[in-house]
Amino acid sequence: MNMQKVYVIGAGAWGTALAQAAALAGRDVVLVTRDPACAEEINTSRRNSAYLGDRVLSDRIVAQTGWSGLGEADIVLMVVPAQKTREVLVSIDPEMLTDKPVVLCAKGLEHGSLDRQSEILEEIISAAHPLVLSGPSFAVDVAAGRPTALTLAGRNEGLTGVVAAALAGPSFRPYAASDLIGVELAGSLKNIYALACGAVEGADLGLSARSALIARAFAEMTRLVTKMGGDAATLTGLAGLGDLALSCTSPQSRNYWFGLQLGQGRSVQDIQQGGARLAEGLTTAPVAQGLAEAHQVDVPLIDAVNLLLAGSMNIDAIVAGLMSRPLKREGKS
């Protein structure tokens, strides 16, 4: 099966980094941007300075605006913000994606519908083959060719393996998996817990508190993911524990950084007006809370993050509330 032509929709930091990874794997890449100036810069100077600074991009990448050539793509990567996925997919002729593997790379749940990214794709273009890419990764590392391992999940085992092999390069290693639901939910939920861990750090509550929070977040994530049909084993791998650990400990994570500001007493509006880049956890948190309610799963940490984002309670009061919850035996839900 020929998988030479890769089409990447979205030229932000992550989309550009994935285009670079595919190019380093020997693929021919088309990178789609909404901004003609961005396309011009990539094609002439081999840089996307707004997102990746002076990082030189492979000459296998051709940037453009619009959907020219999409019908000839072998693999399509959707790398737009989670709340924009539906809008972008609606603008594409469904025939262009018929029978194509579409790799969904946004880590977020849709506000309003409560849909996962793959559910949005299947609703709009049912003839496409949804796959999900998730795991511990920062765009700057991938673009620089630093070692990165992720999970690529899809229902069709053969197709998933072929796509994983096509995207694998000298420093980019996607591991094929079949648990689409688990991988997708883990990638979305970890952003919420990263906000919480950032807030704990911002409030100077200590590394012990942050470590405990990560452990309880893992337990909470497991409860919700398994109740929604995901596999608990997925959460012990790259897409689960691996991504959770990275996002909950590094200021390079946009969600962790945003939480850090919240913990220092700033409001959501103030942080956003200060030019903060997109933190998917902001919109995913209320969606995850809605899913937990629908599936009757206790999610005190997700509830706490929603209180913090709404400005209903400060971090000290939230932590005090969590610490006063009834004690349970370790390992019990």
Q: Which residues are known catalytic residues?
A: 190
Cα within 13 Å of Cα(199), Cβ side: 30
Closest CA to 143 of 62, 54, 74: 54
Q: How far apart are CA 172 and CA 104, in angstroms?
A: 17
User: Residue 268 is encoded by which pair of tokens?
Assistant: 């959501």
Alpha-carbon Rg for the chain, nearest whole angstrom, is 20
User: Residue 102 is encoded by which pair of tokens?
Assistant: 């579409």
CA distances from 27 to 8, 74, 85, 302 (A): 12, 10, 24, 40
**Where do runs of H (alpha helix) occur along 25-103?**
36-45, 49-52, 85-90
- Residue 30's contacts (CB-CB under 8 Å, 6 or more residues apart) are 5, 6, 7, 8, 61, 62, 63, 64, 69, 73
Closest CA to 55 of 13, 106, 5, 9: 13
